[in-house]
Amino acid sequence: MPDSVEVRARTGGAELERVVYTAEAIATRVYEMGHEIGAAYPESDPILVLGLLKGSFIFMADLVREIARPVTLDFLVASSYGAGTVTSGEVRLLYDPENTLEGKHVILVEDIVDSGTTMNRLIPMLEARGPRTLEVCALLHKHLAPELVKEPKWVGFDAPNEFLIGYGLDHSENFRNLPFIGSLRTPE
């Protein structure tokens, strides 16, 4: 567990309510998820791991190194936050994957599922491209979305309803580099 001096140094003095998930807890769970994913598909079938940038990049990099079989990687970029701490409700697709999804087992890697806005917009678009299967792997799930079009098959942690930063999660593009996940203290 990082001490308060290390946390303040890493956050540039920004206040955290608490460290929610340590780097060690994250590493253990990512290892487990990678092995679960590797065992879930026949060895001869192609798997495309599709990362939702920017938040999933650290999680996805660690996750695919724990999947003990060949995988293809690609990314897409969607945004629903901007500079705020709550979703805007609008999803903008900024980068579309170049790989074909047709006939492949596709795993959409998401950093956090909270409002469900991004997932509900992306899943139908991806399904229309004819993947053999489409599953979601989320590091964090807040269980706030009233109706998700697809629940994640793999979830790292059930997350508290707090604004979380670190391990790829940001606030206004800051804090992604933290090796742990913390709850950002927000002004009242």
Contacts of 123 (CB under 8 A, 6+ apart): 108, 134, 136, 149, 150
Cis peptide before 54 (omega within 30 of 0): yes
Q: Which residues are catalytic?
A: 114
Contacts of 140 (CB under 8 A, 6+ apart): 111, 112, 113, 155, 156, 157, 158, 159, 164, 169, 181
Q: Is 139 helix (H, G, I), strand (E, B) or coil?
A: strand
> Is 109:61 a contact under the CB 8 Å cutoff?
no
